[in-house]
Amino acid sequence: MISRAESAAATRRALLDAAAGLLDSGGPDAVTLREVGARAGVTRGAPYRHFPDKDSLLTVVAAEALDRLADQVQAVCAEPQASPADKLHRALSALMTVGRRQPHLYRLMFASPAGDPAAVHAAIQAADRAMDAFLAVVGDLVGAQHTRQFAALLLTSAHGITDMEVSGHLSADKWHITAEELVSTLVSMIDRQARSG
């Protein structure tokens, strides 16, 4: 780790990790470029050598998280001994787990990507990859004819369930139902629908 390129790559990685850590622990307001730089071992101006502005840095953080999610869903899809219904359940669980463990990151992943066009493009591409992996999982379960329709419904609904749970708008007191039960109900309904129609 002596060459200039290696050092720069290490700094860039440290900046992204620091930003992700601050986002997790303190929310978007806690992500300040000064603190990001400090945690990465550099000073306030250094991040601008790697990202055009703060929005771009956060968008790249979101893109990396979407890439990890895509990897997880792809891994689920590749499991040989799991049934299609099982795969779907695990893929949706991966999404909800991000929301529960890293709520601020989750909101960033599903926000409109902002900042540098390159960063925005990376985020869109990563989201596309995650959605393609999810499409494959759903395609295993239902006929190819309605794959897109059901996949879109499953994904948007799972996102809505997760998002409202994360924000506290899905309180158990009021609804007497958990996010898991909602997802199960949805999946079984779609399963029935796919079989009958």
Partner DNA sequence: TTGTTCAGATGACGTTGTCACCTGAACAAC
Partner DNA sequence: GTTGTTCAGGTGACAACGTCATCTGAACAA
Choices 46-54, 62-70, 84-92, 127-135 (CB under 7 A): range interacting with DNA: 46-54
Is residue 195 involved in binding its own copies (CB under 8 A)? no
With beta carbons less than 8 A apart as the criterion, state whether 31 and 23 touch. Answer: yes
- Here's the x/- map for DNA, 13-32, by CB under 7 A: it reads as ------------------xx
B/e letters for 7-24, b = 16+ CB within 10 Å, e = fewer, are: eeeebbebbbebbbebbe
* Length reported for the chain: 197
CA distances to 15, 44, 47, 110, 117 from 51, in Å: 10, 12, 6, 21, 11
Residues 24 and 55: their CA atoms lie apart, in Å, by 16
Residue of 13, 26, 27, 48 interacting with DNA (CB under 7 A): 48
122 binds, among its own copies, DNA, none (CB under 5 to 8 A by kind): none
100 binds, among its own copies, DNA, none (CB under 5 to 8 A by kind): none
- Token pair for residue 163? 């998002």
- Here's the x/- map for its own copies, 73-112, by CB under 8 A: it reads as ----------------------------------x--xxx
Residue of 16, 18, 23, 37 interacting with DNA (CB under 7 A): 37
